[in-house]
């Protein structure tokens, strides 16, 4: 049975935690779509185009993945792509309540789509894009949490602007 999965997110920016989950999911599913959500309500720092490019560069050595973007409900996107699995990452227990609520809502709206939760390596379990952006804005070196090209882009946007 051929199963296609989607790992949706804003990826603003992509972190080593995201990359770890992409590697794990790509070993389970023959086709994995990494879907960048437009989601302007989150006020992303990077454009959709930049986030897609970061993902392409960061995952260039991983086979069986497709990088795409979407707007609207992820379940509608999953139906359009004929995917039956959504991958969601759980870092800490604090993620669980929100992710569980979203998974149950998606199940009610689209019972044909399953949500699978994956946990990143322990060393990445506390990393979040939001926290890294805040840290860079305050002058921290977060180069150990993101690929070099992402770190440079973060510094250019956060330090080289009025955002910090």
Active site residues: 18, 42, 91, 129
Task: Give the position of tokens 């894009």.
Answer: 129
DSSP 46: S
Q: Is 2 helix (H, G, I), strand (E, B) or coil?
A: coil
Rounded-to-integer distance, Cα 30 and Cα 73, Å: 23
Preceding omega of 123 cis (within 30 degrees of 0): no
Expressed in percent and rounded to 5, the helix, strand and coil fractions of the chain are 45, 20, 35
């Amino acid at each position: 049975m051929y199963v296609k999965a989607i790992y949706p997110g804003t990826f603003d920016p992509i972190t080593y935690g995201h990359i770890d989950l992409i590697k794990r999911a790509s070993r389970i599913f023959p086709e994995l779509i990494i879907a960048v959500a437009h989601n302007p309500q989150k006020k992303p720092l990077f454009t959709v185009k930049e986030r897609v490019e970061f993902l392409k560069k960061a995952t260039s050595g991983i086979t069986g993945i497709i990088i795409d973007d979407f707007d609207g409900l992820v379940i509608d996107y999953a139906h359009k792509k004929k995917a039956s699995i959504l991958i969601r990452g759980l870092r800490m227990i604090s993620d669980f309540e929100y992710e569980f609520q979203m998974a149950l809502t998606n199940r009610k709206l689209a019972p044909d789509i399953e949500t699978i939760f994956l946990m990143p390596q322990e060393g990445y379990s506390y990393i979040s894009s939001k926290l890294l952006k805040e840290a860079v804005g305050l002058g921290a070196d977060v180069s150990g949490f993101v690929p070099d090209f992402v770190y440079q882009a973060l510094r250019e946007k956060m330090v080289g602007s009025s955002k910090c």
